[in-house]
Amino acid sequence: MTDPGPLIEPLIPALRRYAYALRRDHAAADDLVQDTLERALSRWSTRRQEGDLRAWLFTILRNLHVGSHRAAARRGVAVAFDEADLPGVAAAQDAAVEANDVLGAVGQLPEDQKSLLLLVGVEDFSYDEAARILDVPLGTVMSRLSRARRALRSILEGGRAPLLRRVK
């Protein structure tokens, strides 16, 4: 098949969901998805035909996210001079508040745990697929996921991330 559009198009909503969960900003998430699709289309001829297209796209998206995260860390904090503080409006529905709390808690997790939790918990990738996407062993996936779930539970119950402790 020479036209990748019909293969990629059904995967865009899942890519947008994952990108929004990583970025927590619709515009930044859309930009990340656009960059992902641009990268995938420009390298379409290098894709393994027998490979999983969904996993390949998610790998590209995550790699772009991590790369931009590192680049932003090198650049430092951007300060907008003309940004005004606008009053916020509290959500009226409990479900929206809970979802916001969960997304905020997920945002407090370390990047490797957050990516893994989103891939397995939200995008429904198997442990094997997540291990291939993140390029880590299966045991690492299971232990990171266990730590991520424990930390997420602790954040939601206690309001902050657990501190690491030293074990001898």
- The predicted pLDDT at position 89 comes to 64
Q: Cα dihedral angle (89, 95, 97, 101), rounded to 10 degrees?
A: -150
Amino acid letter, 20:
Y
Virtual CA dihedral for 57, 61, 64, 67, nearest 10 degrees?
A: -120
Question: What CATH code is assigned to 1-81?
Answer: 1.10.1740
Please state the length of the chain: 168
pLDDT value, residue 100: 81
CA distance 13 to 17: 6
- Beta-carbon neighbour count of residue 26 at 10 Å? 11
Which residues of the chain are in CATH 1.10.10.10 domains?
90-168
Whether residue 148 contacts residue 109, with contact meaning beta carbons closer than 8 Å, is answered with yes
Q: Which residues of 84-101 are buried (b: 16+ CB within 10 A; e: fewer)?
A: eeeeeeeeeeeeeeeeee
Q: Which range is most confident: 9-18, 98-107, 156-165?
A: 9-18
Candidates 1.10.10.10, 3.30.1490.20, 1.10.1740.10, 3.30.1330.10; CATH matching 90-168: 1.10.10.10
pLDDT digits (tens, 9 = 90+) for 85-95: 555 665 467 77
Q: Where are the CATH 1.10.1740 domain residues in the chain?
A: 1-81
pTM of the model: 0.59
Give the Cα separation of 37 and 13 in Å (integer). 12
